[in-house]
A and B are shown apart, each in its own frame.
Chain A
């Protein structure tokens, strides 16, 4: 039992470190994310540099721009990359880890050819047009309609919670092509040029004051049939590929989120009594997640595939973040509420805000508990009263 890299892993880590030392020297300080145009340009540039070195798709064959690498190499690169403030969020990964793997699995040769390389090189950024006002946890409930008209499809509806729709070049879209069959059977998967006529993107102001998410209104939007992925009515199957490709949480601690030791230091410095039992419990969760991750990496390193366990990590992490942020803010009293430029307090405020989003996004607490109970423990699935009736008759 040890925490060491294998010789090959250590060698790869050294190569990556040397490369980052050279390439990421501009990213030692946090980026200004409020400058959207600047941030987007840097994200494209960083992705291009990775692609040129083969680090953008480590597991792909060398002939296609990868390194013929292992999942463990991907994790090592992500770990090392996370030591810098590089622009690698969903703006890039929706394309590289969700859109492109889906296209490569279900798309035509032409589609794969058209989208793979530009996405890998940061020329094409993606957003995910899945969630709707009445389709979140129950994603298959999407109401956005797609009606065939000649060689085109005409789309009408509304998407929501769409990260980076305001800068994305293309989007992956789930729309209903047949309302007279049960809901999972009437969906079709499309690729959308976000510059098309008929798309209106309205930023949503989040509780943090930021606007990464958007509402997207689709009005008589025309999509060529050539931009359909998979067969008509097979959209749910294709979307499952997208969702399964959400990468396992490869990197542990994020530089921008507060940690339990930071909270403990803050409470002690404030001279307020620390709720020791609660603090200790949070610490066992934070460290438990770290060592849980080490166990997953061990499976990966041995070439095994970890099971449905990312649900556990996210469930614990989001709730822990909410609690530790609240405890730290409480210790500062109104000075924590009125951070007014105090960067430490703003970090805890960010943790408090973001944890609320994290408990919803990518599977709510409740959906995750269902997943754990059903997939890990083999308990019965939820009763789905609308499973077998035509969508048009569902409430």
Chain B
């Protein structure tokens, strides 16, 4: 039995945690928000110097070519500090699409992802959507339509979108330089969203037909596992600050962490996080070595479990801080809002529940 990350992967985690505890602390997150720049260019630059963008990208494209488990490790650490960088959309989504649609265009963009030069926004088809639900069409080399809200679309140089090409699924890459982008106010201000207004905008198809469908399915399932790690990181950090607060805050002459009403909630947080971590590890294994069926099942499992853990941890984190927890000055809202964003970013829990309870998933999980 070797159901754990390797020593090298643990070293990467420790290193990332140390680095982010300074470079990505909540003080700098607040500075990024106040600057109105949308993301931290400094942090993005620093992590690219360490090769994080290319951790799962081939050496031929300049990447470190470590693997998906390393990407899981980084996703967890970035989630822990609610890092204001376009890592997920660029690395966990766009690069994973590009890896599966080889060609000159993809290769060039991958190389620019590795260096940190490229920021890419990525549209997804979530489990509760069909290709016919896409709002953008491709015709004669041009895209038209309004995109769904896209993370970092206001800051990205390009976007990958699921589109319909004469009724057929396709994935298109569009340069955003001259595209109208409408910035959107959002619940979680740490991730800037924008909507693209495309009108005969020149674009390239990365792949189409069944291949586009397979790539999208794979990337969404991977995203569910990687998001689960991001959720775990956030949940763990929320538990940690709540536990510390429960020890220092006194009421009626005692630390609030000495009351069972409080300590039992903290225990429940810890239990949900351990279960979620265990399910996320299975997701990580499936990313690396599982069949498509196992990955689909593991993705639903990891996502639902981590979503529940983060939701509970973030909500009780704010609640157990009492009145101060509702202030902007306290850090609880970073977790509270990010948990809500991540809960919906890959589609409704109802759709993922259906996936988990499907015969295919039940079979894959019990074989």
Interfacial residues, chain A to chain B (CB-CB below 8 A): 1-6, 9, 72, 261, 264, 274, 276-277, 279-281, 283-285, 287-292, 294-295, 297-299, 301, 309, 312, 315-316, 366, 368-370, 372-374, 376-383
Sampled A-B contacts (22; CB under 8 Å): A1-B6, A1-B288, A3-B285, A6-B2, A72-B1, A276-B357, A277-B349, A277-B350, A279-B357, A284-B305, A284-B356, A294-B3, A312-B270, A315-B271, A374-B263, A376-B267, A378-B247, A379-B243, A379-B257, A380-B257, A382-B260, A383-B258
State the CA gap A292–B277 with chains docked (Å): 8
CB-contact partner of B274 in A72, A274, A292, A301, under 8 A: A292
> In the complex the two chains form, is A373's CB within 8 Å of B267's CB?
yes
> In the complex the two chains form, is B267's CB within 8 Å of A3's CB?
no
B59 located at the interface, meaning its Cβ lies under 8 Å from any Cβ of chain A in the complex: no
> In the complex the two chains form, is B255's CB within 8 Å of A380's CB?
yes
Known contacts: A261-B366, A280-B357, A281-B304. The answer to whether A291 contacts B282 by CB under 8 A is yes
Known contacts: A3-B1, A287-B365. The answer to whether A366 contacts B288 by CB under 8 A is no
Tell me how far the C-beta of B70 lies from the nearest C-beta in chain A, rounded to whole angstroms. 12
Tell me how far the C-beta of A260 lies from the nearest C-beta in chain B, rounded to whole angstroms. 9
State the CA gap A251–B96 with chains docked (Å): 39
Report, nearest first, the 6 A-B pairs whose CB atoms are least far apart. A288-B275, A291-B278, A373-B263, A380-B258, A372-B267, A294-B3
B4 located at the interface, meaning its Cβ lies under 8 Å from any Cβ of chain A in the complex: yes
> In the complex the two chains form, is B1's CB within 8 Å of A294's CB?
yes
Interfacial residues, chain B to chain A (CB-CB below 8 A): 1-6, 69, 239, 243, 246-247, 254-255, 257-258, 260, 263-264, 266-268, 270-271, 274-279, 281-282, 284-285, 288-289, 301, 304-305, 308, 349-350, 352-354, 356-357, 362, 365-366
Most chain B CB within a 10 A radius of its CB, from A72, A281, A291: A291
Chain B residue numbers with a CB within 8 Å of A379 are 243, 246-247, 257-258, 263, 266
State the CA gap A298–B281 with chains docked (Å): 12
Chain A residue numbers with a CB within 8 Å of B268 are 369
Tell me how far the C-beta of B66 lies from the nearest C-beta in chain A, rounded to whole angstroms. 13
Chain B residue numbers with a CB within 8 Å of A377 are 239, 243, 263, 266-267, 270
Most chain B CB within a 10 A radius of its CB, from A283, A290, A301: A283
State the CA gap A301–B356 with chains docked (Å): 31
State the CA gap A274–B353 with chains docked (Å): 12
CB-contact partner of A281 in B270, B285, B308, under 8 A: B308
Known contacts: A264-B357, A309-B274. The answer to whether A284 contacts B247 by CB under 8 A is no
The A/B interface has a contact count, at CB < 8 Å, of 152
Tell me how far the C-beta of A127 lies from the nearest C-beta in chain B, rounded to whole angstroms. 31
Residue on A nearest B302 in the bound complex, by CB:
A284
Chain A residue numbers with a CB within 8 Å of B275 are 284-285, 288-289, 292, 316
> In the complex the two chains form, is A378's CB within 8 Å of B243's CB?
yes
Chain A residue numbers with a CB within 8 Å of B255 are 380
Chain A residue numbers with a CB within 8 Å of B356 are 280, 283-284
State the CA gap A379–B245 with chains docked (Å): 11
Residue on B nearest A297 in the bound complex, by CB:
B1
Known contacts: A264-B357, A383-B258. The answer to whether A1 contacts B284 by CB under 8 A is yes
> In the complex the two chains form, is B3's CB within 8 Å of A376's CB?
no
Most chain B CB within a 10 A radius of its CB, from A9, A280, A281, A366: A280
Most chain B CB within a 10 A radius of its CB, from A279, A315, A369: A369
Chain B residue numbers with a CB within 8 Å of A264 are 357, 362
Residue on B nearest A299 in the bound complex, by CB:
B4
> In the complex the two chains form, is B357's CB within 8 Å of A283's CB?
yes
Chain A residue numbers with a CB within 8 Å of B6 are 1
State the CA gap A294–B354 with chains docked (Å): 26
Chain A residue numbers with a CB within 8 Å of B278 are 288-292, 294-295
Known contacts: A264-B362, A366-B264, A378-B243. The answer to whether A1 contacts B5 by CB under 8 A is yes
> In the complex the two chains form, is B2's CB within 8 Å of A4's CB?
yes
17 more CB-based (< 8 A) A-B contacts, given A280-B356, A288-B275, A294-B281: A1-B5, A1-B6, A1-B289, A2-B289, A264-B357, A281-B308, A283-B357, A287-B279, A291-B278, A291-B281, A291-B282, A312-B270, A369-B267, A369-B268, A377-B243, A380-B247, A380-B263
